Amino acid sequence: MQSANIAVKHAFNCIVIMDCAGRFSGDNVWILYYGNQGLISVAGFNFVQDLPRFLVLLYTPQRFNLEDWGRNTAFKPHLEGDHIVSHTIKVDGRTLKLDNRERDTRLRLAGRGTSVMDVTCEALKQEKPADTVDGMVAKIYWTEEARITEEEILERVKEAGKKFEDVRGHVPILLFSKRFLVSTSTIRRALGLKDPEKGSRRLVLLVFKKLSPIEELQGDELVDAWRQCVLCHYALWWEGIHHRDVSSGNLMYYRVDGKVMGVLNDYDLSSLTTSANSLGNEPTGTIPFMAIDLLKKDGQDGRVEHLYRHDMESLIYVFIWISLQYKDGKLIKRGPLRSWAKVNARGCAEKNYFLTNPEVPLGTNNRNLVFRLVAFLSQRLNTRDRLKIAKDIAQLDLEDARSETAIEDARKAIAELDRNLEEQPDSDMFDAFLSKIPSVN
């Protein structure tokens, strides 16, 4: 419900345990509070033995106003029958109308709860006519308060666009932003819960120039737009702006005089190397496109530093995904990679299997480039895996060594393998990657 309605801040529920036949199996009731910071559960009580408390539970919600029930009353709903088709909100002297009919929503009980929808605003159209001629979209989500704000990162991205041609015109244009005062930590602080600010979130509304999803493209236009995103991503990485959430949904495009312009979009999980809280080891990303290293246990536990090669791997997965899962700009219902979207973080074996046994049907969009990218990535990942296995064996040899000669040989082998496992400079990695992508201009 929180993701299905952008105006909902939290939700309540009461649970009474029932048996398999649907009969009440106990007299205990639990009160649950759902918010984007997570669940708060009140200890259950027996509503038969503690009737006064139960009566208070029944009486109190009758006095709730809309805010108490979890509705953000700043968002005014407009209905057609029983369905909310839009919301209107007045912020900072502007009236925004948010179209609720067609929007991208990421459903979950906790977390960001991101929604993206079309928006109209006459004031913004008058203020910035050139950037609003193709329309506007609103992005509404619950950001983690400990993070550097997306607005700050976008300001750094804008500055990078003044320095690098590969960035200029290939990043989103922020038209308006609003951070609401409500914080998910408020109720936790009022209840005296431990660490109320840990993971606390705040509602954010951002308005951008409208873009189109890169999945709509095919052939040379897809390669061109994707290559532009690759160049933009590296220029930003070099500048200390690490995207960290490369996915098919975060690569967009627009047209200038008929030519496609790829856009690297969505910076709410990005980090800055200059920030005191750079979040370098925090596992972020969209699972189907995350690097295999980050999907393994060490990566999920935050013991793997997020490097350029991990985002490079994600960029490759995005191109492969679009090429195999889309035809004529439409998602194939039973595409060959559909299993990627159904696994959890530990299901990285799906991508491993594809890289070693790529099945790319005839007629696949950009089939030649798909094979080249698979070969490039597979070779690099396999080389690292072989070196890691060889080092494990050398470590065992060192533990089992009995003579000085055997000990020395094992140590030399480990030192040599450590040198081979040293991270390649980002510039060399990027050059090798870019050499596999043809320029279509």
pLDDT tens by residue, 318-354? 999 999 999 988 998 888 888 888 777 666 667 888 8
CA–CA distances in Å: residue 189 to residues 110, 174, 294 = 18, 33, 34
* Domain boundary assignment for the chain: 10-69, 211-441
Per-residue CA distances from 377 to 18, 292, 315, 337, 371 (Å): 52, 11, 11, 17, 10
Residue with tokens 């990078």, as numbered in its chain: 160
- Where is pLDDT greater, at 52 or 103? 52
Structure confidence by residue, pLDDT tens digits, 397-419: 999 989 999 999 999 999 999 99
- Highest mean pLDDT (candidates 66-70, 234-238, 379-383): 234-238
Q: Is the pTM for the entire model greater than 0.85?
A: yes
What pLDDT score does 16 carry? 67
Check residue 5 and give its pLDDT: 64
Handedness of CA 427, 219, 252, 258 (dihedral sign): positive
Helices (H), 326-366: 349-356
pLDDT at 347: 67
Taking domain 211-441, whether its CATH number is 1.10.510.10 is answered by yes
* Pairwise pLDDT comparison (231 vs 331), residue with the higher score: 231
Instruction: Please list, in sequence order, all residues whose beta carbon lies within 8 angstroms of the beta carbon of residue 171, skipping any fewer than 6 positions away.
Output: 154, 157, 158, 161, 232, 236, 263, 264, 265
Q: Among the residues of 95-218, which ranges form H helices?
A: 122-127, 129-132, 150-163, 185-190
pLDDT in tens, 142-151: 999 988 999 9
Q: pLDDT, tens digit, for every residue of 269-312?
A: 999 998 866 554 555 678 889 998 888 888 888 888 899 999 99
